[in-house]
Structure formats: C-alpha cells, structure tokens
C-alpha cells in the first residue's frame, strides 16, 4: 500500500463515511432514508478495497507501461501553467472515460453498479463497482503518461477527480448560479443519475462541465421534470451480490448465445442493449 493510499484510508475515507452518515440521519429525522442502499454502497466500497489489495492488476497496465517508455519527457508539476495543463487534460480524459463507461458495454458492466441505486445520496458516491481498476479504464489517461507523468501519479490524479465528485451526489444542494456554466455541480450530476428519457446520457464531466457543453452532452436540470433515479430497468434487489453482478450476468448470457466472433465483439464493445440484427 502506497503512502497516498494509506493517507486516504486514515483521513479521507473516515471523513467521507461520516458525512454520508450525517446526511442519512438528517433525512431520517426529516422524512426517511434508504439505509439498505447505504449498506450496499458500503459493501461495494470495502469489497473494492479488498480486490485492489488481492488483485492489484489492470488490463490497462501494458498500455500505460508502453506509454511511460515512450513518454515525451519527464513532466514536472512545477508551476501554475503546468498544473493547469495537467488539470485540463485529466478532466478531458475523464470526460471520455466516463462517456465510454456508458456507451461501451465492457465498461458499463462495472459502471452500472454506480447507477443502480434508485435514490441518490452521498453514499452513492462510493458505490463504484469492484472491478473498475482491473477493467482498464485508466487506458483513457494514456495522454497524461505520454506527457511524462508516471502511471501511479495518474492514478492519484484520477482519485482526486473522484473525491471532488463526492459532494455532487447531494440532492439538497440547489443550483449554483454562474458556476453551473463551468464546473460540475450537484444539479448537473443529478441529471447524470436520472433515468428519465429527457436526461439519459447527459453530463459526463468530472470537475468541469465545459466538455459536456463542447461535445453536446450537457443537459440542465429542469424545474418541470421530477428526476427518476436509477436505471431504466430498475434493480430492485437489496442483495449486494445481485447489485454487483447483474450486468455481468446479462453479458455472459448474451455471450453464450453469440453465433459469431462479430457478435461476441458487439456484445462486449458496442453500446449496452446492443443485439445483432436478425438474419
């Protein structure tokens, strides 16, 4: 375990868990709170830590190692411009990684766990799916490694991006005025977790929302439309194993019925719900 990871476990993780518990008690006093959903999120969080410890590998590792060997030089974060450049590049890479996690089934099988809750709370922020690192999503951050940053530093940068997003899962924070045009806010992220047809596939940004605006995926929160959270086909089970593996179950079933290599590749890498044309 690295010094960075140890710091997260000792200080950051307890703070995040405490904030989500406080929110839960607040809503329980005010009306009600889905404690079972929090328990599912907690089981996902601790299972993910376990898998990262016993299976610290990623299919992206060979690509990241190649990029490191062919980097343009050693990049140092030794100034404001350098920091801003890395910040913009990592958020650009995160946007495309996140968008691909919704549009490529291989990545969606894990990311769907994050969207499986039928309510939204701070605890949903750490329900991320246990195989995120192993499945190779860091491949989208190859440009940072080619710039001269080590894979470990890239992993830490991505972690900071995810930590920023913790507060975005609050339903009680209103719109934030002009900030809505620049950064990702709870209002924007509520739309990302919505299953309403009008909201699906919107707001993929990490820290910034500008890439959604640039690439046509920005969708504002509407006053006239009540948000329905979760998936278009809701996961009703409270069993953590069902929540964790429901998409994998569907994928394996489709792969078993595949009639060609083309079908196999389609099931793995085309959009979720893709089916081969009937012949």
How high is the pLDDT of residue 55?
A: 81
Provide the phi-psi class of 136: left if phi over 0, else alpha when psi is between -120 and 50, else beta: left
Residue 263 CB-density burial (10 A; 0-12 exposed, 13-18 middle, 19+ buried): middle
How high is the pLDDT of residue 5?
A: 80
pTM, entire model: 0.94
Query: Is there a domain that residue 171 lies in?
Result: yes
Query: Is there a domain that residue 277 lies in?
Result: no
Query: Is there a domain that residue 275 lies in?
Result: no
How high is the pLDDT of residue 1?
A: 65
Identify the segments of the chain with pLDDT beneath 50: none
Write out the residue range of the structural domain in which residue 55 sits: 3-269
Query: Is there a domain that residue 247 lies in?
Result: yes
Number of domains in the chain: 1
Query: Is there a domain that residue 274 lies in?
Result: no
Query: Is there a domain that residue 164 lies in?
Result: yes
The 3-state DSSP class for residue 183 equals strand
Query: Is there a domain that residue 36 lies in?
Result: yes
Query: Is there a domain that residue 279 lies in?
Result: no
């Amino acid at each position: 375990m690295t010094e960075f990871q140890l710091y997260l476990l000792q200080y950051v993780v307890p703070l995040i868990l405490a904030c989500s518990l406080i929110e839960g008690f607040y809503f329980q006093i005010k009306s009600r709170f889905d404690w079972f959903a929090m328990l599912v999120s907690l089981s996902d969080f601790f299972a993910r830590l376990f898998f990262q410890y016993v299976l610290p590998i990623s299919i992206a590792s060979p690509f990241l190692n190649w990029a490191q060997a062919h980097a343009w030089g050693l990049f140092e974060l030794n100034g404001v411009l350098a920091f801003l450049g890395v910040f913009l590049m990592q958020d650009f890479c995160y946007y495309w990684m996140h968008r691909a996690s919704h549009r490529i089934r291989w990545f969606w099988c894990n990311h769907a766990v994050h969207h499986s809750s039928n309510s939204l709370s701070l605890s949903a922020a750490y329900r991320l799916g246990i195989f995120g690192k192993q499945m190779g999503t860091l491949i989208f951050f190859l440009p940072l490694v080619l710039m001269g940053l080590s894979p470990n530093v890239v992993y830490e940068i991505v972690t900071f991006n995810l930590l920023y997003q913790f507060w975005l899962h609050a339903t009680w924070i209103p719109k934030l005025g002009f900030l809505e045009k620049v950064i990702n806010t709870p209002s924007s992220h509520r739309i990302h977790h919505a299953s309403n047809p009008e909201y699906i596939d919107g707001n993929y940004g990490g820290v910034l929302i500008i890439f959604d605006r640039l690439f046509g995926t920005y969708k504002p929160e509407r006053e006239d439309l009540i948000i329905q959270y979760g998936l278009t086909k809701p996961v009703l089970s409270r069993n953590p194993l069902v929540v964790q593996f429901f998409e994998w179950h569907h994928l394996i079933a489709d792969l078993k019925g595949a009639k060609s290599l083309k079908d196999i590749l389609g099931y793995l890498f085309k959009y979720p719900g893709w089916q081969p044309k009937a012949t």
